A and B are shown apart, each in its own frame.
Chain A
Amino acid sequence: MTDVVVIIPTTPFNTLRNSEGLRMSVGLTLEEDNKVTVLFIEDGVYLLRKTDPELIGSGIIYKHLDALRSLGHRVVADKESLDERGISELGTEADILPRGRIVEMLTDADRVIPWQ
């Protein structure tokens, strides 16, 4: 089993980069031995709010997140980043973890892919 964490730290507004990062994350699940976690941190947590991807120009978001979850992979949000931005309600499912657990998760991962 290869534990892969993809980090998304940037805002989804007016960029297709995050959508591409999520497409890549779904693609990583094509190797059955990969266990994929997508981590939303800093401004990346805005992706988890309820938004209209067409209006904010973010490309496809929820379809990729749903695919990841339905395939048994994980979506994680950094609690500190959510709190700093006053985000208490998410538009999609995610495991909210404190920073300490995030650090552990990254330390334990076999591969970390920061997606800027």
Chain B
Amino acid sequence: MSQMKGKLGILLATSPESENTHTVVRLTETALTAGVVVEMFLMCDGVYHLQDPRLAELAAKGAKVVVCAHNAAERNVERKDFVHWGSQYDLALLVNDSDRFLSFN
């Protein structure tokens, strides 16, 4: 088993049409393969990624996915099993405790 090498925090606030999606998916795959802990926070139109099967796959591989429940409720996005239904408090914690933090918005 590979050694964990820190934690990568990712904020994704753009819709799935954005080029950010592909970047985040590939980056997360690579980080997980390298043994990095990845936690992703989805807000604004980023909550539509709950409908993207690639995110469920990333979660199955070990990425933690947290969504801003407020934004998801505003957009009537259905809850999924692989995500934590969270709040801005989760983002505040992630920004604080990740070793690297990347923002895609």
Contacts and interface: CB of A to CB of B under 8 A. Distances in A.
Interface residues of A, number: 19
B88 A28 contact: yes
Q: Which of B44, B91, B92, B101 has the most CB of A within 10 A?
A: B92
Interface in A33-66: 33-34
B21 to A, nearest CB: 15
Interface residues of B, number: 16
Looking at chain B's contact residues, the main secondary structure is helix
Interface stretch (A85-93, A96-104, A108-116): A108-116
Contact of B105 (A26, A30, A34, A116): A116
Contacts of A17: 44
A34 B90 CA distance: 13
A28 B95 contact: yes
Contacts, number: 47
Contacts of B13: 20
B96 A24 contact: no
Contact of B96 (A2, A26, A27, A114): A2
Interface of A: 2, 4, 17, 20, 23-24, 26-31, 33-34, 111, 113-116
Given A31-B92, A115-B105, 17 more contacts: A2-B95, A2-B96, A23-B88, A24-B43, A24-B88, A24-B91, A27-B92, A30-B88, A31-B96, A33-B96, A34-B92, A34-B95, A113-B11, A113-B95, A113-B101, A113-B103, A114-B105
